[in-house]
Amino acid sequence: MKCKEAEQLIYLYSELDMDEKRLLDAHVASCQQCGLIATSFGLFGEMLMKARTHEPAPANAAQLTSRIMEQVHSGSYTSRKNHGLMLPAYWFRVAITITSLILAIAFGIESSVDAYKVSQQQWEVSAPATQAHPSQYWQARTQRNKPASLYQQYRKGNAIRSNETKTIYTDEQI
């Protein structure tokens, strides 16, 4: 038996069968290094035996029983499971998250629609009749049959607006 294998078996001595124990004992008796490990582990085992004799117990067993039975009598757990009167915490959180997402999406859509309507109204008031609304351009880009005409219309409108702006701020007029 090699020392590496012996070391592993020393820590599992109580799990070995008789043959394995005999082989290990023979090695430990002839190897000083493994003998030291075995002695040390033996002391550790003795310490565990002593530590095990002290059995921890609840400070106040009657109080612990009362606390458990109070919860049992309140029926919070059984009602959750059997009658579905209360949602378990996990599903409650899931429900809250989904509701929040739906509200956020609905609010977002409503705001976008309002903003679109306002911008379209402003455009209709301020832009020349020849010019298309930018949203129409993007709508047209997705419809492959008529992107060019609307795009040109959009560019043309922009050019008109640009010229108008330029004429407003020429030095001659100022």
Partner 1 sequence: MFQSDGRNTWEIIQQATGGDTRAFRMLVVTHQTFAFRVAFRMIADEQDAEDIVQEVFIKLWSNLKKYRPENRFTTWLYRMVVNQCLDFMKSRKVQQRSRNKNLDEMINHPTTISPDEELQNRELMKIVHQAAASLPPQQHAVFVLRDLEALSVDEVCEILSMSSGAVKSNLYHARKTLSERLKSVYQIPDNKSYEV
Residues that bind partner 1 (CB under 8 A): 8, 11-12, 15, 40-41, 43-44, 46-48, 50-59, 61, 64-65, 67-69, 71-73, 77-78, 81
Minimum Å gap between C-beta 9 and partner 1 is 9
Nearest-10 Cα torsion for 122, 127, 128, 134: -110
Minimum Å gap between C-beta 111 and partner 1 is 40
Q: Which is nearer to partner 1, 8 or 149 (CB)?
A: 8
Quick count: other Cβ atoms within 10 Å of Cβ 112? 10
CA distance 126 to 137: 18
Quick count: other Cβ atoms within 10 Å of Cβ 60? 10
CA distance 86 to 75: 11
Q: Which is nearer to partner 1, 44 or 138 (CB)?
A: 44
Minimum Å gap between C-beta 78 and partner 1 is 6
Q: Which is nearer to partner 1, 65 or 99 (CB)?
A: 65
- The answer to whether the beta carbons of residues 160 and 130 sit under 8 Å apart is yes
Minimum Å gap between C-beta 39 and partner 1 is 9
- Contacts (Cβ under 8 Å, ≥6 apart) of 6: 24, 27, 28, 31, 34
Minimum Å gap between C-beta 98 and partner 1 is 25
The three-state secondary structure class of 172 is coil
Q: Which is nearer to partner 1, 58 or 129 (CB)?
A: 58
